A and B are shown apart, each in its own frame.
Chain A
Amino acid sequence: MPSIRRNPKRLLTTAIILALDLIVLAWFAFPLLWMFLSALKTQAGMFTMPPRWIFEPTLANFQILLDRGALLYFRNSLVASLGAVVVATTLGSLAGYGLARGRFRHTKDISWWIITTRMAPIPAVLVPLYGIFRGVGLLNTLPGLIVAFTTFSLPLAVWLMMSFFRDVPKELEEAVWVDGGTVFQSFWNVALPLVTPGLIATATLSFIFAWNDYLFATVLTSGPTQTLPVVTASLQTMHGVVWGQVMSMGTLIFVPVLLLGVAIRKYLVRGLTLGAIK
């Protein structure tokens, strides 16, 4: 293949590709860059037009959020998301293994039912949950929110773990059975350690979806049980629109999740397609 320098036509193609890359990069990255910059501006500084690119950064917005008790909502978000992760990965590993290995008459129907639960539109799911929670006193509680998050995190975990367990060669587990072991022993001692990266990816994705939820939390919690996204959305009405705080809070919600997401990059496609594409 001729080198770039010696072939003008190829040079032009490369130039066009790089130019398009820049446009794509700007389109996707700019809003996030703007969020970070705005979080570091003073309330007055952020409304100057034309926009100011060089300015003295301030952490005042973050300070205000701390003073207003943002840590409580941070804790709520963390408890609810981690609760959902624990339930989803524990039950999901067991069920994923069972569905991957067991022979049932209705495996396909069970999988379909589980996936439909994950895909059900949130506004529609919320209506009966709200009715039920109101009756049994789960409204405005963190356990209630964990139950609500389970409706999507458990199906996700089951499907992903099923896909990871399918990759474990059955021969490895048979060694345990030859020695008189049970299915649970081969699951615990052989299969589960082999899918640890998959388990971490599953837990991370469950966490991200729960952490990022707004709709469930805005209906099912209030006051001291609210989560970060709910509080962020309500910042816009409390004292007019406090965009600096909204953008700071946005940064606080987004950065941990971005780091987690990049950490499981290798499993992202598989995770987001529920194991369909590896």
Chain B
Amino acid sequence: MSTPVQTPTQQLQVVTAQPKRIPILGRLSPEGWMVLPTVLVLLAVSIYPFLYMIRMSFFEYSPLPQVPSKFVGLGNWVQMLQDQAIWASWLTTAWYFGAALTLQLVLGVAIALLIEHTPYFRDALATILLSPMFVAPVLVGLLWRFLLHDSYGVYTYFLHEIGLLNNVSILGDPRTAMPAVVLMDTWEWTPLVVIVVLSGLRALPHDVLEASVVDGSSYWQQVRYITLPMLRPVILVAALIRSMDLLRYIDHLMVTTAGGPADSTKIIGIRIFEEAFRFFRLGYASALGLAMIVVTIFLGRLFVNVLGEEQGAPGA
């Protein structure tokens, strides 16, 4: 949108024009009143459950709803810190998180560059490519379980045809289960990185890239020293979004490995889900969940700070 040339009179209006105030609204500004319903709803669905969860973490619950819960003080917290299985789960989470994030960022940037240099059907290619993102995470799990099925999975068949993993149950073997679920998540979410990086590439100033061609730098030098550094903020945003959602979603894992075999894919989210809804140890699950939320809050702060700098807002 082009900004109209302003005459001095118009500028004067810009300064003086103020919305009409309605006295009965009191001290809160009209904008405040517009934010208020959301704040109240989020207090009810986010802050209240959060406080409730802190309270729950001091109690021991019975699987039977009619049996009253028992106050155990810091019992759940002490148990959490001493629980080897929980520490192992955090380590598994770190592996899953690190492998998936790295793979998705590297592949995402590479595929975005590839598409940018594709001479034909670029948009059609990009559109087909982004479809995995729209598959419900639980369907991704079911679909990949079908593809990797031991006896009639079509991917299993392909792998066997080229002589790989012949006597291995891909999702049932601790050595292959983790790589398989990482690839599964990568299949769904690399497209997100691709379209984010593509939009970043489109926004790059072309005179800089052309100047570097004139200087005689090779394509790879250009990518390494000009394109990638300029894409840094965009890649950072993609990395943050992926980080949050890697911790957030366990749907696809629940229907493939459910944390197994032998806990090899039991990331912390699955552990919480199990404690809460399989063993109904809601108090212990609350302590674990709170620990996980602390990690998220840290990531959220990072997100707002980074985005605040990128777009000069919110209220930065």
Contacts of B255 in A (CB 8 A): 233, 236
Contact of A51 among B114, B128, B154, B187 (CB under 8 A): B154
Contacts of B196 in A (CB 8 A): 269, 272-273, 277
Q: What 1/0 flags go to B272-316 for Cβ under 8 Å of A?
A: 110011000010011011101100110111011001101101111
Main SS of chain A's interface residues?
Answer: helix
Q: Does A110 contact B (CB under 8 A)?
A: yes
CB distance from B238 to the nearest CB of A (A): 7
- From B80-88, B144-152, B171-179, B221-229, the one touching the partner chain is B144-152
Contacts of A108 in B (CB 8 A): 304, 308, 314-316
Contact of B119 among A17, A34, A97 (CB under 8 A): A17
With A and B bound together, what is the CA distance between A123 and B248 in angstroms? 8
Highest count of chain A CB atoms <10 Å: which of B127, B297, B307: B307
Contact of A111 among B237, B286, B314 (CB under 8 A): B314
Highest count of chain A CB atoms <10 Å: which of B136, B251, B289: B136
CB-contacts of B105-161 with A (<8 A) = 111, 114-115, 117-120, 125, 127-139, 142-144, 146-147, 151-152, 154, 157
Contact of A254 among B38, B136, B296 (CB under 8 A): B136
Task: Knowing A102-B35, A128-B50, say if A121 contacts B296 (CB, 8 Å).
Answer: yes
Task: Please give me the residue from chain A that is nearest to B10 by CB atom.
Answer: A171
Q: Does A169 contact B (CB under 8 A)?
A: yes
Number of A-B pairs whose CB atoms are under 8 Å? Answer: 324
With A and B bound together, what is the CA distance between A264 and B19 in angstroms? 34
With A and B bound together, what is the CA distance between A132 and B13 in angstroms? 53
Task: Knowing A177-B18, A253-B139, A273-B237, say if A120 contacts B144 (CB, 8 Å).
Answer: no
Q: What 1/0 flags go to B23-36 for Cβ under 8 Å of A?
A: 00000011111110
Task: Knowing A31-B143, A154-B38, A215-B251, say if A51 contacts B304 (CB, 8 Å).
Answer: no
Q: Is the CB of A123 within 8 A of B19?
A: no
Contacts of A163 in B (CB 8 A): 311
Contact of B139 among A219, A232, A265 (CB under 8 A): A232
CB distance from B49 to the nearest CB of A (A): 4
With A and B bound together, what is the CA distance between A109 and B267 in angstroms? 30
Q: Is the CB of A124 within 8 A of B292?
A: yes
Contacts of A102 in B (CB 8 A): 29-32, 34-35
CB distance from B30 to the nearest CB of A (A): 4
Q: Is the CB of A28 within 8 A of B132?
A: yes
Task: Knowing A18-B118, A183-B31, say if A119 contacts B296 (CB, 8 Å).
Answer: yes
Q: Is the CB of B136 within 8 A of A98?
A: no
With A and B bound together, what is the CA distance between A181 and B290 in angstroms? 47
Task: Knowing A28-B191, A102-B35, say if A119 contacts B299 (CB, 8 Å).
Answer: yes
Contacts of A106 in B (CB 8 A): 315
CB distance from B90 to the nearest CB of A (A): 13
CB distance from A144 to the nearest CB of B (A): 11
Q: Is the CB of B19 within 8 A of A186?
A: yes
CB distance from A38 to the nearest CB of B (A): 7
Q: Is the CB of B142 within 8 A of A236?
A: yes
Q: Is the CB of A27 within 8 A of B187?
A: yes
Q: Is the CB of A243 within 8 A of B131?
A: no
CB distance from A204 to the nearest CB of B (A): 11
Q: Is the CB of B248 within 8 A of A121?
A: yes
Contact of B314 among A94, A107, A155, A246 (CB under 8 A): A107
Q: Is the CB of B146 within 8 A of A276?
A: no
Q: Does A12 contact B (CB under 8 A)?
A: no
Q: Is the CB of A111 within 8 A of B269?
A: no
Task: Please give me the residue from chain A that is nearest to B294 by CB atom.
Answer: A124
With A and B bound together, what is the CA distance between A171 and B7 in angstroms? 13
- From A54-62, A63-71, A206-214, the one touching the partner chain is A206-214
With A and B bound together, what is the CA distance between A138 and B241 in angstroms? 31
Q: Does B249 contact A (CB under 8 A)?
A: yes
Contacts of A186 in B (CB 8 A): 19
Contact of B270 among A24, A123, A208 (CB under 8 A): A123
With A and B bound together, what is the CA distance between A127 and B59 in angstroms? 13
* Additional pairs, 5, CB under 8 Å, beyond known A31-B144, A246-B142, A261-B131: A103-B31, A116-B300, A208-B134, A212-B137, A273-B238
Sample of 21 A–B contacts (CB below 8 Å) = A18-B120, A24-B111, A28-B132, A28-B191, A35-B143, A91-B41, A121-B292, A124-B288, A127-B285, A130-B282, A158-B38, A180-B20, A183-B30, A214-B136, A214-B138, A229-B139, A250-B135, A261-B130, A276-B307, A277-B196, A277-B200
Interface residues in chain A, defined as those with a beta carbon under 8 Å from any beta carbon in chain B = 4, 14, 17-18, 20-21, 24-25, 27-29, 31-32, 34-35, 38, 46-47, 49-51, 87, 91-92, 94-95, 97-99, 101-104, 106-108, 110-117, 119-132, 134, 147-148, 150-151, 154-155, 158, 162-163, 166, 169, 171, 174-178, 180-187, 208, 211-215, 219, 229, 232-233, 236, 243, 246-247, 250, 253-254, 257-258, 260-262, 265, 268-269, 272-278
